[in-house]
């Protein structure tokens, strides 16, 4: 088990850069850093709403990807901040997951 002080730190700027590098070229032409920051905020809201963020916790949680996609799409339709379709959002979610994996926050299930 990891010690609390050894937990990896999620860096929004690094995550945005990683995601921009990860997503397909067509989506890169459409997605801005602000768009990705918005998606990251909605992902955090999902984690929070589902009790998946515990400060200073090393406990692993399982994330329902379909449920997360639905949550993000509902927020997009409600907030009207970005205009991504489900496929584009899935690429962004995958990018966030792979960034998290790269810094040791997520494990492959």
Residue 87: half-sphere exposure toward Cβ, Cα within 13 Å: 3
Tens digits of residue pLDDT in 6-50:
556 778 999 999 999 999 999 999 999 999 999 999 999 998 888
The reply to whether the predicted model has a pTM over 0.95 is no
The ranges assigned to domains in the chain are: 4-102
Tens digits of residue pLDDT in 44-85:
999 888 887 655 444 555 677 889 999 999 999 999 989 999
């Amino acid at each position: 088990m990891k010690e609390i002080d050894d937990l990896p730190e999620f860096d929004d700027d690094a995550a945005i850069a990683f995601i921009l590098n990860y997503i397909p070229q067509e989506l890169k032409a459409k997605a801005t850093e602000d768009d990705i920051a918005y998606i990251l905020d909605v992902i955090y809201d999902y984690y929070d709403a589902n009790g998946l963020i515990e400060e200073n916790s090393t406990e692993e949680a399982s994330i329902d990807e379909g449920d997360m996609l639905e949550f993000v799409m509902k927020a997009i339709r409600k907030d009207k901040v970005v205009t991504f379709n489900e496929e584009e959002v899935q690429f962004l979610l995958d990018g966030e997951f792979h960034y998290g994996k790269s810094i040791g926050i997520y494990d492959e299930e």
